[in-house]
Structure 1
Amino acid sequence: MSIALEADRLTKTYGAVRALDDFSLSIPAGGVFGVLGPNGAGKSTLFRIALGLVRPTEGSARLFGAPAGDIAALRKVGAMIETPRYPPSLTARDVLKMLALESGAKNADIDGWLERVGIAQAADRSTSGYSVGMKQRLGLAAAFFTKPELVILDEPTSGMDPAGIQEIRALIVDLARREGVTVILASHQLDEVRRVCDRVAILSKGKVVAEGGVAELTAGEARLRITVASPIAPVLTVLGERGVADGADAVLADIRRGDAPELIRALVTAGVEIVEARWREADLEGVYLKTLEAAAPLSEGAA
């Protein structure tokens, strides 16, 4: 398997702060990989080291097998790290022309990409008048238009409205699935991550605390939601520690799917009036929060 980005025991300190702490991660080429974590978890630091913008205190990072910062490897990469900024005198078309010259990209489809990210109508306006969402769209065009093999995106839909988020989500999926671009995505929008990512890593205080496929991480987390017309107290009694109230008329049962028929029979025998029993699949947000909560005691030494 080809590895797009590999971090080997990376540590990065800023004074007393450890942005990355003995951090190791391998991200395969192909598909969309999500890097999740709260502010200060080390996501942006990882990206900056991979792009050669920051040097690690210890350890190493490699892009496509080459040391981080290698010029040949960087020519295969597009990136948008945090909110992009542009010289106020330049238009969107100027920005892409300048980047095309600097990167040596020939026959870059500037107009096509301005259209694809939804700012073609503002291509010749000064970027000083762009909204945050429009600047994000231009940043995406700048990351993609040179036809890179790998694109690193840090909060790509920040400042966008729901329609814009949906458009960019579709663009990322299209690039990864149909055009073979590897995308590494950091986002606080967990629904966005769930919809577009194949695999994710969860970071906490500079460490990887969980990694795997989205389906793999959420497997086994489904719970049975039982809605009743009668009081929920008998349901909680039958379930014991396996049950928790979910509002005034429902209980979430932490049971295996094969145990559901026996539980329903037990509740009916106990006189419970069941209105509905439906499996609630785990969401990535719940797994994410549970993982961070479990990891907190393990990472107290990291700042």
Structure 2
Amino acid sequence: METILSVKNLTKKFKRVVVNNISFDVEKGNVYGLLGPNGSGKSTTFGMLLSTINPTSGDWFWFGKKGTDAETLKRIGAIIEQPNFYPYLSAETNLKIVAEIKGTPHSRIDEVLQTVGLLERKKDTFKTFSLGMKQRLAIASSLLNNPEVLILDEPTNGLDPEGIIQIREIIGTIAKQGITIIIASHLLDEIEKICSHVIVLKDGDAIYSGLVDGMTSNSGYFELKADNNALLLNTLEELQWFVSVKIDGEIIKAQIREDVSVSASGLNQKLSEKGIFLSHLAKKKQSLETQFLELVKNTPHA
């Protein structure tokens, strides 16, 4: 698969180290999340990759070419700050101005407005738009130059639940067109719903880079209940299939070892052979939130 972006040992120091020697690759056609709390270095990383912030050290390569020059920027669409349009001009007129600046034809305007669901509102002035509509117009403007990569910094920040869902759906539509997308967010739920890959930042360090599902153990866990929970607990521990077995109220939770493959039916059969009959059995997968918290907890800061 083609590598769109390769980041090598990128560092930025202001009064303190904001981005600390991070490295990761972005492959074509995927949706990547840059995940971390506010102050973890996400916006600074984007600033360096777009050449608005000078790095202290390190390199990056867009499309195999070192750094970010004017020609490279033509292949990238980005929303790093709040949308900045003329409030008393229509959506269409605002996009015409952006198109002139980018040197792209006006014929793209209706197409990008259709993509973000604003075609019917193209004659309305920007000041009449809700916050969600303003963000969608910003995404439309970033698509005018037919970019190969779209960079979005906290695209759902401040939006109501309906606005968040609309932005997610738009990102999904754009991704289906084969555009590579990189999203910075502090929202775990957003990354889990939108992204295929994630780079996790903690205090400027990249502590994980890879598939969302591969952040930590993807084996999952079982929830179980029986008439004799004490016997069930002892039997589960004896099986040695689990990293941990804990009681949570009336439910026993058994975390599956990474090197073990066991189905709910297989476990049920094994327990029934030992005379244990379950009144509750469910196999579940850890949420990204749980995986993220475990990853951050278990990764010391240098």
Equivalent AA in structure 1 for residue 74 of structure 2: R
Q: Which residue identity does 1:194 align to in structure 2? A: E
Cα gap change, 1:158/1:108 in structure 2, threshold over 3 Å: closer, same or farther? farther
Whether the 8 Å CA contact 1:224–1:280 is kept in 2: the answer is: yes
How do residues 235-250 of structure 1 correspond to structure 2 at under 5 angstroms?
235-239=232-236, 242-246=244-248, 248-250=249-251
Q: Deviations over 1:114-166 (max 9, x none)?
A: 23312334433433343321221111111123210110111222333444433
Tell me which amino acid in the other structure corresponds to 1:3.
T
Q: Map Cα deviations across residues 25-59 of structure 1 (whole Å, 9 max, x no partner).
A: 22122221222112112111111111111111111
Q: Which residue number in structure 2 is paired with residue 190 of structure 1?
A: 188
Distance 1:267 1:21 in 2: 49
Select the residue among 203, 212, 215 that pairs with 1:217. Answer: 215
Q: Does structure 1 retain, via aligned residues, the 8 Å contact 2:32–2:181?
A: yes
Note if contact 1:7-1:61 (Cα within 8 Å) is conserved in structure 2: yes
Q: TM-score, normalised by structure 2?
A: 0.85
2:119 is aligned with 1:120: yes
Does structure 2 retain, via aligned residues, the 8 Å contact 1:76–1:148? yes
Alignment correspondent of 1:153: 152
Describe the SS at the equivalent of 1:191: helix
Distance 1:67 1:258, change over 3 A: closer
The CA RMSD over aligned residues, in Å, is 2.7
Match of 2:278 in 1: 274
Q: What is the distance in 2 between the residues matched to 1:101 and 1:262? A: 64
Report the counterpart of residue 291 of structure 1 in structure 2: 295
Paired AA for residue 226 in structure 1: L
1:215, CA displacement in angstroms?
A: 3.2
Distance in 2, Cα, partners of 1:274 & 1:82 = 54
Judging changes above 3 Å, is the alpha-carbon distance between structure 1 residues 133 and 270 closer, same or farther for their aligned structure 2 residues?
Answer: same
- In 2, the alpha carbon distance for the partners of 1:115 and 1:174 equals 11
1:215-273: CA deviations, max 9, x gaps?
33355331011134x47454444445721233x22121013443967865786688766
CA distance 1:89–1:53, shift in 2 (3 Å): farther
**Counterpart AA for 1:202:** V
Distance 1:69 1:211 in 2: 22
CA contact (8 A) 2:3 2:27 kept: yes
Partners of 1:125 and 1:4 lie apart in 2 by 37
Identical columns (%): 34
Distance in 1 between the 2:68 and 2:265 partners? 58
Q: Which piece of structure 1 moves more, 284-293 or 263-272?
A: 263-272
Counterpart of 1:181 in structure 2 is 179
Separation in structure 1 between the aligned mates of residue 66 and residue 87 of structure 2, nearest angstrom: 34
Structure 2 stretches of 5 or more lacking a match? Answer: 238-242
Matching residue of 2:254: 253
- How far apart in 2 are the matches of 1:165 and 1:217? 24
In the TM superposition, residue 277 of structure 1 has moved relative to its aligned partner by 1.0
Name the CA distance, whole Å, in 1 between partners of 2:17 and 2:87: 35
User: Aligned-pair distance for 1:81?
Assistant: 1.5
Matched, 1:206 2:208: no
Task: Report deviation, 1:278.
Answer: 1.3
TM-score, with length taken from structure 1:
0.85
